[in-house]
Amino acid sequence: MANRNFRDLLESQWSKGNFVCVGLDTEFDSIPERVRYASPQNAMCTFNREIVDATKDLVCAYKPNTAFYEAHGSEGISILRETIEYIHQVAPDVPVILDAKRADIGNTNKGYARFAFDLLGADAITVHPYLGAEAMKPFLDRKEKGVIVLCRTSNPGAGEFQDLRIDGEPLCRVYRVVAHNVATKWNANGNCAVVVGATYPEELGEVRAIVGDMPILIPGIGAQGGDVEKTVRAGQDSRGQGMIINSSRGIIFASKLGDFDEAARRETIKLRDSINQYRK
């Protein structure tokens, strides 16, 4: 575990043409009947293992969202920890992004960092930028871990604050300033990335121009309606790489039947091939 480096793991997967990130948003009520039995822990762990087994050679990362696990209390945390341990066991070259969207003052962030990285074993975490670099130091100082900063998110109401104009600021918009600061002030250890939704390809292209070859986590493909071609053309870096293109429901719940693992693999292959079709 100590030798895992998030950026190195990503680069290894990109070199294989793997740019799909599977979001393990495992909602218990949506799990197919074949594995939805007994306790949520048994069902969710079995479901996650089968998804991982079916896709592990095709992906650049897995991204469990903590909300779907925290909803089950201490049992959910056990599910999350067991899922990450299983990924490390069967897919040791695939990084795990904890989609937790944490942010607080520095001392509190020390606890969040220990939970994500030391207890759960995640390789990266999503964070909010609102408290500034000083507060995020407990995450940024973990040189081997990824710190993925929300920049221009995929939800319809994202622009309420992220699009606000800043008087006297050459970059004009909040999300552009976030991208600039992360790239030029936060990334001393080369472990930062940003989040930009596939549902906003124009803004994605703007952010790519600002952050250079920094990784971009791109949610919004699949159920949220992001377009693959527009996403790749706007989101790829100077090498035709740099993208962590996430699909959650569109892959893990591609089938409600007993063949959900086979369906997940088919959808992952389809998305992987589509991404590579439009790369430089």
Catalogue the active-site residues: 101
Cα-trace Rg, the chain: 18
Extract the tokens encoding 127: 């964070």
Do 126 and 195 touch, CB atoms closer than 8 A? yes
Using CB atoms within 10 Å of the CB of residue 137, give its burial: 0 to 12 exposed, 13 to 18 middle, 19+ buried.
middle
Cα(112)–Cα(215) distance, integer angstroms: 22
Cα(30)–Cα(266) distance, integer angstroms: 19
Name the nearest CA neighbour of 10 among 124, 129, 151, 128.
124
Q: Which residue has the tokens 């070199």?
A: 15
Cα(162)–Cα(147) distance, integer angstroms: 19
Name the phi and psi angles at 148, rounded to 5. -105, 110
Cα(97)–Cα(84) distance, integer angstroms: 10
Name the phi and psi angles at 178, rounded to 5. -60, -50
Coil, strand, or helix at residue 182? helix
Cα(262)–Cα(269) distance, integer angstroms: 11
Half-sphere exposure of 175 (CA within 13 A, CB side): 24
104-117 as b/e: b if 16+ CB within 10 A: beeeebeebbebbb
